[in-house]
Chains A and B, each alone.
Chain A
Amino acid sequence: MKLAYWMYAGPAHIGTLRIASSFRKVHAIMHAPLGDDYYNVMRSMLERKRDFTPVTASVVDRHVLARGSQEKVIQNINRKDKEENPDLVILTPTCTSSILQEDLQNFVNRASQDTKADIILADVNHYRVNELQAADRTLEQVVKFYLDKAEKNKTLFIEKTKNPSVNIIGPCNLTFHGQHDIAELKRLFSDLGITVNVILPEGASVYEIKELPKAWFNIVPYREVGQLTANFLKNSFNMPFIDIPPIGVTETANFIREIEKILTQQGINKNFQEYIDLQTRFISQSAWFSRSIDCQNLLGKTAVVFGDATHSVALTKILSQEMGIKVLVAGTYCKHLEPWFRSQVSEYCDEVLITDDHNLVADMIASLEPSAIFGTQMERHIGKRLNIPCGVISAPVHIQNFPLSYRPFMGYEGTNQIADLIYNSFTLGMEDHLLEIFGGHDTKDIGTLTLSNELEWDENSLIELKRIPGFVRGKIKRNVEKFAKKKNITKITLDIMYACKEEGNA
């Protein structure tokens, strides 16, 4: 057993449902107790979807526990087949059904005899994989299923398109800024003269799957979902793929150069260098921003980055390569991507942290006291408690991270968005500097800036603390308290403050 009240990645079935509900005309039936259909709430509220979430439960109740599901699952599948007329029904096991060990595959086999829809059982083990791994697997499973089917029916398209074309594999429901990234990627490919063949699974029909091999190559914009599918397509159809997330000026350029390479290998000589130059200098403001006075003030500031592998890697590289910010720790909760993560960030940060325990992350941030944090909603709240600004760069997120306005993280417009996010997260460069010179405009009260209330401040020391400009007061307060604790002092007086200052701590 593990004591926890917060987790970065959700349970496996959420990943399967994210894939299922991203396709058009695919229905998921969860084998789950009442109340486990919470995914529907998340999709409806966070993404503000106008359609009913195509997920229903075949409810596991006391009767099922006693006698087994018997005909119930089959009836539910048949019923959905008639009501919604889906192309595919994905039977989704949950933690509950994986312990019941019912033969769900048998239900699938029997149900498919009477349904118009195809039926598959999502092959994910609740206790072995998390949301992201399950999404990756389910997508691969669906793709394999339909490519096999097409091969049997001899309807597979293996002939390449006339013009260079690409499949975008991985974006799905509840992907962090996913819709915006897709739009930006489409724009990028249209600029490069490359046709987008299939986007999978977001908005796709399962009938498009057989057309996947038509594309010249695949891209996997998010490291977490799509790798398995891209690998499978590479092995089966010899399709090359790019798995560099095109986030940030440098990585976007690398991404485009990769495309150039792939096209050359396939006999089309293109030179995108001029395009990269133009975009970098005129469309993206980020490169210019790096050279501007504002960014100078960011030089040498410290940051901690934590999130999923894709975004954490991208932000670490941007902060360190493009903005001259010192990344103290880069971390991810995607434990299964550890080797890739380390290989990407190790030269851009002091330390790498791989954990899914938010308490470890909180302690790390509290001890390092960076000037800014880039993380998930959890890190934002940690930052709030410590009075350290935080920019949200990765799921898990709240509804405010599903913005209505255009906010891609990828491509050249993405670089602008990220530059804004980074700049606004640090106490504004020049303003900070001026405040320091002029002693600061003092509006902040001495709030609850500490995490502990064990220490008492006497009257004089409190008055002195009030004199310290607001924007550094929290830090000084914490430093004095640390100093006092080290010396086993419980009441802080003026003398203690000065002693601390003398030691060079405040």
Chain B
Amino acid sequence: MHSDQQNLNNNSLKFECETGNYHTFCPISCVAWLYQKIEDSFFLVIGTKTCGYFLQNALGVMIFAEPRYAMAELEEADISAHLNDYMELKRLCSIIKKDRNPSVIFWIGTCTTEIIKMDLEGIAPKLEAELGIPIIVARANGLDYAFTQGEDTVLAALAQSFGLKSSNSKQQQQVGQKTSSNLILFGSVPNSVVFELTTELQSFGIEVGGWLPAKRYTEFPTINEKDFVCGVNPYLSRTATTLMRRRKCQLIGAPFPIGPDGTKAWIAKICSVFNKPTIGLDEKEKRVWKNLQNYTQVLKGKSIFFMGDNLLEISLARFLIRCGMIVFEIGIPYMDKRYQGAELAFLEKTCESMGVFLPIIVEKPDNYNQVDRIKDLEPDLVITGMAHANPLEARGINTKWSVEFTFSQIHGFTNAKNILELISKPLLRKNITGKVFV
């Protein structure tokens, strides 16, 4: 980590670490978007009423659409080991198999399974063999992770196990067929974003070998040694590590394709690895920026404060600085300086070229202290969770609910507009509400 810091300039970004007393979603929330992404999956969250209550409320209306997820709600007898975990899970998974017939069942471990040390990884292979259905175990618990990191644990589990058990001969065949330049992208994004980013790379002569995850479990790419992998989301450091260490893949460290600047840098980095020229890429970026002018005019010179809860903060801040905004503070739950290295360097470069000071990056922030700082700094906009949004608005501070960035399409050239729409909405609204307040 020390050497990583040196990669960035010495009088560079300042990193601080607070108490970790901040509001964020529990990482099991990843089932909300992953069950929709992986169409033939079923997610079983093994936890308590607390987990269920959170999902029920956080997922809102989705709950009523017969979702492909459920709770295995632990009762007192499970906790005190009066019931046999293996038998209980077998009973529930048999019901799921009968009713839904999914291609894969994901077990999401929670704080409770961690504490009572339920051996999910041990039980899964046995049940997998008995039921004839793949079971993937991901420990997406609040003891270790925040919000979007839930996706990271699921994808890391997939990266570790997917395709390993299928017959070796078949895999070797594929190794023989493919050259070592196979490119696999990882990160769950809506299918239209998959399409856009894939075609974008294609136009520069780069074939995407597959996405982790794909639309269906049965369509997941085989991962081979020496394959190139590249992430599209900033919170996938465990997945990246797993792909490198377990699957011997080569990680392309690039800024993330968020905002036209990020998208360009991402494409350029991948092209440079494959030695492909990027003719017309600069022009394309410029065209996108021109189309965003209506928004950037509103945002120029406005200040922003990220309280931090979803790990998208660095990329968003970098894009918004490029839009002409001033960032006071970037709160972030967890900062992997290696995985986000290229993005951090890009942030520095962006600050330099825009002539603005470098923001402070606060890892594991303390919301109480942050509210104090917000009162002092009076930023034009605070990106925050729902727990703080209404109270801040009542104190005359503009807010944008951070979770929307997780659920909106924000990747690639065409979706940059979505981000700016989200950001500028509260600022435009201020013109109205500012007048009405007595």
- Contact of A3 with B70 at beta-carbon distance under 8 Å, contacts A13-B50, A96-B111 already known: yes
Smallest CB–CB gap between A181 and chain B, Å?
Answer: 23
Q: Is the CB of B386 within 8 A of A44?
A: yes
Q: Is the CB of B75 within 8 A of A127?
A: yes
B6-14, B55-63, B411-419, B423-431: which lies at the interface: B55-63
Distance in angstroms between the alpha carbons of A14 and B50 in the assembled complex: 9
Interface residues of A in 18-66 (CB under 8 A from B): 32-38, 40-42, 44-45, 48-53, 56-57, 59-62, 65
Distance in angstroms between the alpha carbons of A95 and B53 in the assembled complex: 12
Point out the residues of chain A lying under 8 angstroms from B116, CB to CB: 99
Point out the residues of chain A lying under 8 angstroms from B391, CB to CB: 44, 49-53
Distance in angstroms between the alpha carbons of A34 and B73 in the assembled complex: 19
A311-328 interface bits toward B, Cβ cutoff 8 Å, 1 = contact, 0 = none: 000000000000000000
The listed residue with most A CB atoms (<10 A of its CB), out of B55, B56, B146, B390, is B390
Smallest CB–CB gap between A129 and chain B, Å?
Answer: 11
Distance in angstroms between the alpha carbons of A50 and B397 in the assembled complex: 12
Point out the residues of chain A lying under 8 angstroms from B48, CB to CB: 11, 95, 126
- Contact of A4 with B73 at beta-carbon distance under 8 Å, contacts A33-B141, A61-B144 already known: yes
Smallest CB–CB gap between B133 and chain A, Å?
Answer: 16
Q: Is the CB of A35 within 8 A of B69?
A: no
B22-30, B174-182, B191-199, B219-227: which lies at the interface: B22-30
Q: Is the CB of A2 within 8 A of B73?
A: yes
Smallest CB–CB gap between B20 and chain A, Å?
Answer: 6
Point out the residues of chain A lying under 8 angstroms from B49, CB to CB: 7, 10-11, 95, 126, 130
Q: Is the CB of A45 within 8 A of B92?
A: no
Which of A35, A126, A127 has a CB less than 8 Å from the CB of B27?
A: A35
Interface size class of B (residues with CB under 8 A): 35 or more
B76-84, B206-214, B352-360: which lies at the interface: B76-84
Number of interface residues of A (CB under 8 A): 51
Q: Is the CB of A7 within 8 A of B52?
A: yes
Interface residues of B in 130-155 (CB under 8 A from A): 141-147
Distance in angstroms between the alpha carbons of A226 and B56 in the assembled complex: 27
Distance in angstroms between the alpha carbons of A378 and B64 in the assembled complex: 8
Q: Is the CB of B64 within 8 A of A4?
A: no
Distance in angstroms between the alpha carbons of A49 and B26 in the assembled complex: 22
Point out the residues of chain B lying under 8 angstroms from A10, CB to CB: 49, 53
Distance in angstroms between the alpha carbons of A34 and B49 in the assembled complex: 16
The residue in chain A whose Cβ has the minimal distance to the Cβ of B60 is: A398
Q: Is the CB of A5 within 8 A of B21?
A: no
Point out the residues of chain B lying under 8 angstroms from A398, CB to CB: 60
Point out the residues of chain B lying under 8 angstroms from A60, CB to CB: 111, 143
Point out the residues of chain A lying under 8 angstroms from B78, CB to CB: 1
Interface residues of B in 76-103 (CB under 8 A from A): 76, 78-79, 83, 88-89, 91-92, 95-96
Query: Is A381 on the interface with B (CB-CB < 8 A)?
Result: yes
Query: Is A394 on the interface with B (CB-CB < 8 A)?
Result: no
Smallest CB–CB gap between B250 and chain A, Å?
Answer: 31
- Contact of A3 with B72 at beta-carbon distance under 8 Å, contacts A44-B389, A50-B390, A56-B368 already known: yes
Smallest CB–CB gap between B29 and chain A, Å?
Answer: 8
Smallest CB–CB gap between B112 and chain A, Å?
Answer: 6
Query: Is A6 on the interface with B (CB-CB < 8 A)?
Result: yes
Distance in angstroms between the alpha carbons of A76 and B368 in the assembled complex: 12
Q: Is the CB of B76 within 8 A of A128?
A: yes
Which of B58, B83, B144 has a CB less than 8 Å from the CB of A62?
A: B144
Smallest CB–CB gap between B272 and chain A, Å?
Answer: 38
Point out the residues of chain B lying under 8 angstroms from A13, CB to CB: 50
The residue in chain B whose Cβ has the minimal distance to the Cβ of A10 is: B53
Point out the residues of chain A lying under 8 angstroms from B70, CB to CB: 3-5
- Contact of A35 with B24 at beta-carbon distance under 8 Å, contacts A65-B114, A95-B49 already known: yes
Distance in angstroms between the alpha carbons of A83 and B394 in the assembled complex: 20
Q: Is the CB of A99 within 8 A of B21?
A: no
Q: Is the CB of A35 within 8 A of B57?
A: no
Q: Is the CB of B390 within 8 A of A37?
A: no
Smallest CB–CB gap between B54 and chain A, Å?
Answer: 5
Q: Is the CB of A34 within 8 A of B26?
A: yes
Smallest CB–CB gap between A5 and chain B, Å?
Answer: 5
Distance in angstroms between the alpha carbons of A48 and B27 in the assembled complex: 25
Q: Is the CB of A34 within 8 A of B142?
A: yes
Which of A34, A44, A99 has a CB less than 8 Å from the CB of B79?
A: A99
Q: Is the CB of A127 within 8 A of B76?
A: yes
Distance in angstroms between the alpha carbons of A32 and B24 in the assembled complex: 13
Smallest CB–CB gap between B189 and chain A, Å?
Answer: 23
Q: Is the CB of B143 within 8 A of A62?
A: yes
Smallest CB–CB gap between A334 and chain B, Å?
Answer: 15
Point out the residues of chain B lying under 8 angstroms from A455, CB to CB: none
The residue in chain A whose Cβ has the minimal distance to the Cβ of B387 is: A40
Point out the residues of chain A lying under 8 angstroms from B111, CB to CB: 33, 60, 95-96
Query: Is B302 on the interface with A (CB-CB < 8 A)?
Result: no
Distance in angstroms between the alpha carbons of A96 and B50 in the assembled complex: 9
Smallest CB–CB gap between B436 and chain A, Å?
Answer: 15
Q: Is the CB of A35 within 8 A of B386?
A: no
Distance in angstroms between the alpha carbons of A378 and B74 in the assembled complex: 22
Smallest CB–CB gap between A485 and chain B, Å?
Answer: 19
Distance in angstroms between the alpha carbons of A5 and B54 in the assembled complex: 11
Distance in angstroms between the alpha carbons of A19 and B89 in the assembled complex: 36
Smallest CB–CB gap between A401 and chain B, Å?
Answer: 13
B18-52 interface bits toward A, Cβ cutoff 8 Å, 1 = contact, 0 = none: 00110111110000000000000000001011101
Query: Is B388 on the interface with A (CB-CB < 8 A)?
Result: yes
Smallest CB–CB gap between A161 and chain B, Å?
Answer: 36
Q: Is the CB of B142 within 8 A of A36?
A: yes
The residue in chain B whose Cβ has the minimal distance to the Cβ of A35 is: B26
Q: Is the CB of A11 within 8 A of B50?
A: yes
Distance in angstroms between the alpha carbons of A130 and B112 in the assembled complex: 18
Distance in angstroms between the alpha carbons of A45 and B401 in the assembled complex: 11
Q: Is the CB of A95 within 8 A of B112?
A: yes
Point out the residues of chain A lying under 8 angstroms from B58, CB to CB: 38, 41
Query: Is B187 on the interface with A (CB-CB < 8 A)?
Result: no
Point out the residues of chain A lying under 8 angstroms from B88, CB to CB: 1
Query: Is B298 on the interface with A (CB-CB < 8 A)?
Result: no
Query: Is A252 on the interface with B (CB-CB < 8 A)?
Result: no
Query: Is A94 on the interface with B (CB-CB < 8 A)?
Result: yes
Interface residues of B in 296-317 (CB under 8 A from A): none
The residue in chain B whose Cβ has the minimal distance to the Cβ of A95 is: B48
Which of B63, B143, B385 has a CB less than 8 Å from the CB of A5?
A: B63
The residue in chain B whose Cβ has the minimal distance to the Cβ of A43 is: B387
Point out the residues of chain B lying under 8 angstroms from A378, CB to CB: 64
The residue in chain B whose Cβ has the minimal distance to the Cβ of A80 is: B368
Point out the residues of chain A lying under 8 angstroms from B141, CB to CB: 33
Q: Is the CB of B386 within 8 A of A1?
A: no
The residue in chain A whose Cβ has the minimal distance to the Cβ of B64 is: A381
The residue in chain A whose Cβ has the minimal distance to the Cβ of B74 is: A1
Distance in angstroms between the alpha carbons of A316 and B58 in the assembled complex: 31
Distance in angstroms between the alpha carbons of A420 and B48 in the assembled complex: 39
Q: Is the CB of B23 within 8 A of A37?
A: yes
Query: Top 7 closest A-B pairs, CB basis?
Result: A35-B26, A33-B142, A50-B394, A40-B387, A381-B64, A11-B49, A35-B142
Known pairs A38-B25, A127-B76; list 18 more (Cβ under 8 Å).
Answer: A1-B46, A1-B72, A2-B72, A5-B70, A6-B63, A11-B53, A32-B142, A34-B26, A35-B26, A35-B54, A35-B142, A38-B57, A44-B389, A49-B390, A51-B394, A59-B20, A61-B20, A95-B111
Interface residues of B, Cβ cutoff 8 Å to A: 20-21, 23-27, 46, 48-50, 52-58, 60, 63-64, 67, 69-76, 78-79, 83, 88-89, 91-92, 95-96, 111-112, 114-116, 141-147, 368, 371, 385-391, 394
Interface residues of A, Cβ cutoff 8 Å to B: 1-7, 10-11, 13-14, 32-38, 40-42, 44-45, 48-53, 56-57, 59-62, 65, 76, 83, 94-96, 99-100, 126-128, 130, 378, 381, 384, 398
Q: List 17 A-B contacts (CB under 8 A).
A: A1-B92, A2-B71, A2-B72, A3-B71, A3-B92, A7-B49, A10-B53, A35-B24, A35-B147, A38-B54, A41-B387, A57-B21, A94-B50, A95-B111, A96-B111, A99-B79, A127-B79
